[in-house]
Amino acid sequence: AQTVTQSQPEMSVQEAETVTLSCTYDTSESDYYLFWYKQPPSRQMILVIRQEAYKQQNATENRFSVNFQKAAKSFSLKISDSQLGDAAMYFCAYRGYNNNDMRFGAGTRLTVKP
């Protein structure tokens, strides 16, 4: 079974600085998708970034970028120029290529200090 591990329960970053959130996963599949979701206090999960495993190029979305290491089964999220609004729970998630079942990590609570 696929599992997703986020080893950092909490992280903090100074406003305008850069922070990296870690995620590792375990799978025997060769094709899959990886995601980072943000859950603010409003509870609504918001997609931050998505990576297709068959793409070697790391995905980027404005201040958010990933470091996808397929062989190491690692998928870290880098947030540059952190803003107060980035404070939230961040979940790493995995989904098989032909599977509708998304597996989530336990989450990392990010605090942004002014």
Partner 1 sequence: KAGVTQTPRYLIKTRGQQVTLSCSPISGHRSVSWYQQTPGQGLQFLFEYFSETQRNKGNFPGRFSGRQFSNSRSEMNVSTLELGDSALYLCASSLLGPVNEKLFFGSGTQLSVL
Where do contacts with partner 1 occur on this chain (CB under 8 A)? 33, 37, 42-47, 50, 91, 93, 95, 97-107
Shortest Å distance, C-beta 63 to partner 1: 19
For the bound state, the minimum distance from the C-beta of residue 75 to partner 1, rounded and expressed in Å, comes to 16
- Looking at residue 31, what DSSP letter applies? S
Is the Cβ of residue 82 or residue 105 nearer to partner 1 in the bound state?
Answer: 105
Rounded Cα distance between 18 and 25, Å, is: 23
CA distances (Å), origin 60, targets 26, 45, 63, 68, 77 = 23, 19, 8, 11, 10
CB of 106 to partner 1, least distance (A): 5
